Amino acid sequence: MIKDLNIAQIGHPILRNKTKDIPINDIKSDNTHKIIEKMIKTMRKHNGAGLAANQIYEPIRICIIEVLDNPRYKHLNTIPLKILINPKVIIKKDTATFNSYEGCLSVPNLRGKVRRYNSINVTYYTMDAKKITENIKGLESIVYQHEIDHLDGYLFTDKVEDNSTLVTYENYQKYYEEEYKKELENFNSIAENLS
């Protein structure tokens, strides 16, 4: 087991509580920006694709996402750093779903398949307190859904429908990664056709 990550691990109560929205007037505060800086540093140090504030013991509604040549998520395209404050996911009606093999810094050395939507709308505030609504689709949408789930008190393990898909990271690489890459190609083509 990985120790001293400074990341809350499965079983810690903070991961099960819904986080609190940050008042609009506090978004630009030094305290909020310091928490975001700590999140970015922690995520990058541990090769995460994203991180939620409650994973570093802050019960507030902030998550970050970034994928830049990440060795843990080779199947994901580059996602530039995105900071989401008070994010909300809106599921588009009749959107297709996909089974995503996911892992988590709060659940070390474990992967499992989770059903995710191909296309979502996300509303959030930037660090400048500007409200944004974006359509996120394809593999990128998986990361958004995973991180926002954290803010609502859910871990990916809660959403695994078939427990036989739970595998160690080593066994994922050894037995499942190649097949999953083929599934991803299909997922991407479906997502592109949603436009």
Active-site positions read 147
Please list the alpha-helical segments (H only) found in the chain. 30-45, 139-151, 169-171, 177-193
What is the rounded distance in angstroms from the CA atom of residue 138 to the CA atom of residue 117? 8
Task: Dihedral sign for Cα 128, 148, 20, 104, please.
Answer: negative
Q: Which residue has the tokens 């036989």?
A: 164
Cα–Cα distances in Å, from 51 out to 168, 184, 188? 20, 23, 24
Please count the other Cβ atoms lying within 10 Å of the Cβ belonging to residue 122: 19
